[in-house]
Amino acid sequence: MENIPTYQSELIIKYLAGEITKEEILVLKGWLQSDPKHQKLFEDYRNTWLAIENSKIDSTVVVDEEWRKLESRIRESRKSEVRSQKSEVESQNVGTFRRKMGFTSLPLFNNLVKTPGSYWAIRIAAIFILVAIPSFLVFKYFSNSPKITITAQKQLMETRLPDGTIVSLNNGATLVYPEHFKGNIREVKLTGEAYFTVRHDKINKFVIVTGNVRIEDIGTSFYVNTKKSDGLMEVVLDEGKASIYFKDNHSGQVLLLPGEKADVLLNGNSIKKSINNDGNYLAWKTKRLVFSNSTMSEVVTLLNKVYQSDIRLSGDNLNNCRLTAIFDNQSLESVLNVIKSTLDVSIISNGSAFEISGKKCDF
């Protein structure tokens, strides 16, 4: 079995002793993920642990014998007497740690809390554990995390991912992500419409997966709609940079800058970049709507999307009617009242639905 480097073994010791900091956890996590051999090492430890638990080897005899040897060396090297108060405090701390870490059944720790100079005994014993017993808890912590699936129902949903990234989901959108990100790729899967404010990490890149398309963060806030229309996906960049490519054609990636958008033709495996001229692409999230000589058909379509409403135009009379107005986080009722007075139309409410009717517009 491969040996663990001294620095990493110290980090694992700190982890087992409950002394590791958040920064050191990141370092340890990085080491585990930097080489498949490191992960394999923990897999070997885990298998040994399971073998012990299943009584495939006589763990009690082995551990007790090795512990007695260690205990003898500790007594020889540490002849000074440790104050009883300090021993009591350390015993309580170790006891608490044992319960939290699930080590209550190990004879090693049962004897350890009664031994003078237990702090150093913990360190020596921890090294022994790394050699003889799998670091099951560390392996479990960094192994494949269970997946979390969330779906926005009828309204905007906002969630914070394990890395601090904030995601806003529009009605019907589904996001799948791990309980804990691992490896050097923070991968999530999206179906529908969402806005991402990504916590940038140069080492562990953030990737959105939707079918065969990949959207890679380069310090970004951006909008994604995987169902802009049949077979068409849209990405609009607000801040930073984003790279878009197909899974089997990374070299064909398209880089977006702020203010740009990408139309991804899924069936044709093509990506077209252009300037984003749609000021309402985030209206569903911000409730800010900008209409500039917009047709009533365009107005109604956007209102239904933003407010999850059922607004309909009666007949063809209003097809030529156009609206110029700005609404900033106003209620649907307020918006309809402005439209009513501006265009001199009638709006009839029928339960949760609204019907707009009026005379033909000559402009």
Give the domain CATH number at 309.
3.55.50.30
Question: Which CATH number is 236's domain given?
Answer: 2.60.120.1440
Residue 188: how many other CB atoms lie within 10 Å: 22
**Same domain as 134, residue 29:** yes
- In this structure, is residue 13 part of a structural domain? yes
How high is the pLDDT of residue 22?
73
Domain total for the chain? Answer: 3
How high is the pLDDT of residue 123?
52
How high is the pLDDT of residue 291?
93
- In this structure, is residue 363 part of a structural domain? no
Q: How far is CA 136 from CA 37, 43, 54, 146, 325, in A?
A: 16, 8, 14, 17, 62
How high is the pLDDT of residue 31?
73
How high is the pLDDT of residue 72?
60
- In this structure, is residue 280 part of a structural domain? no
How high is the pLDDT of residue 7?
64
How high is the pLDDT of residue 136?
43
**Same domain as 155, residue 120:** no
**Same domain as 235, residue 326:** no
- In this structure, is residue 282 part of a structural domain? no
Domain span at 159: 147-275
- In this structure, is residue 136 part of a structural domain? yes
Low-confidence ranges of the chain (pLDDT < 50): 1, 16, 45-46, 48-63, 80-86, 88-91, 94, 97-120, 126, 128, 131-143
**Same domain as 156, residue 138:** no
Last-in-domain residue among 275, 303, 322: 275
Q: What is the pLDDT of residues 301-313, one digit of tens each?
A: 999 999 999 999 9
Sign of CA dihedral 51, 57, 58, 62: negative
How high is the pLDDT of residue 106?
41
- In this structure, is residue 173 part of a structural domain? yes
How high is the pLDDT of residue 298?
93
**Same domain as 216, residue 291:** no
Q: What is the pLDDT of residues 214-269, one digit of tens each?
A: 999 877 899 999 988 888 999 999 999 999 999 888 888 999 999 999 999 988 78
**Same domain as 58, residue 159:** no
- In this structure, is residue 58 part of a structural domain? yes
How high is the pLDDT of residue 26?
78
Last-in-domain residue among 275, 309, 341: 275
**Same domain as 207, residue 193:** yes
**Same domain as 192, residue 246:** yes
